[in-house]
Amino acid sequence: MGSGHSAINVLLDLLALRDTAPATRLLWAMRREQLTTVFGGGLADALPARDELGQRAKKAVEEGWITTLTPFHIHTVSPTPTGGVAVTGQLGPQEHTVAIDAIVVATGFRPDLSILREVRLAIDPWLEAVQAPGPLIDPNRHSCGTVPPHGARELAHPERDFFIVGMKSYGRAPTFLLATGYEQVRSVVAALVGDQAAAARVDLPLPPTGVWSASPVDLIPPCCGEPRPAGRGGTAPCCG
């Protein structure tokens, strides 16, 4: 279950079972109606390994090694007498039940913020990400390559000199790239040592994904009451 890269990796690993257990049958359930974005941007993706991952999954589906159930909205999961599970849901316009041996759930994650209960935080209520970058990393509007660069200014919390950086700063959003985290850390460290000019200078050319998403410019909030400077994602410093 799931439509992201984790689900694809699991499926490709499970395909290896067919070498020793030829009767292995794989069902891939997801809520998406279209598989185009699931397989990635193809040759338009500037990350070759990610492109290869998507193309391998696409080939496995096209050759019949993996059966897709989409869009599949699961209602109930119940045990079967044989030790497996019966999964019932809405497959397109009809109710559908499949009996399987096991489910691998790759449907996302969420940060554990319990350790920060005594800290004054600004958290996006939906993504559980840092509040200011929330609209900038919304997976409904962005892929990994269209998230605007951001740093100490956007990652700040009401708690003085407190920042959440890296994957945890994205909350439940799956659009995080390591390069983004490195730039976050560079900007935050600059802010903590008092180099505000370096902290404000956040520039990160992200690779194109080949998958359609909204332009990042229209989601960036105004800076000091004025529009952000022109450019990809408004990367130029503002407010002096």
CATH 3.50.50 residue ranges in the chain?
Answer: 5-100
Higher pLDDT, 53 or 63: 63
pLDDT at residue 210 tops 70: no
Burial class of 121 by CB neighbour count within 10 A (0 to 12, 13 to 18, 19+): middle
- Whether the per-residue pLDDT at 43 is higher than 70: the answer is no
List, for residues 172-203, the tens digit of each pLDDT value: 998 888 889 999 999 999 999 999 999 999 88
Residue 146 vs residues 52, 205, 211, 213: alpha-carbon distances, Å: 20, 10, 10, 7
Residue 162 binned pLDDT confidence (cut-offs 50, 70, 90): very high
Mean pLDDT to the nearest integer, 98-106: 93
Mean local confidence (pLDDT), 103-122: 93
Q: Is residue 222's pLDDT more than 70?
A: no
Overall CATH class of domain 5-100: alpha beta
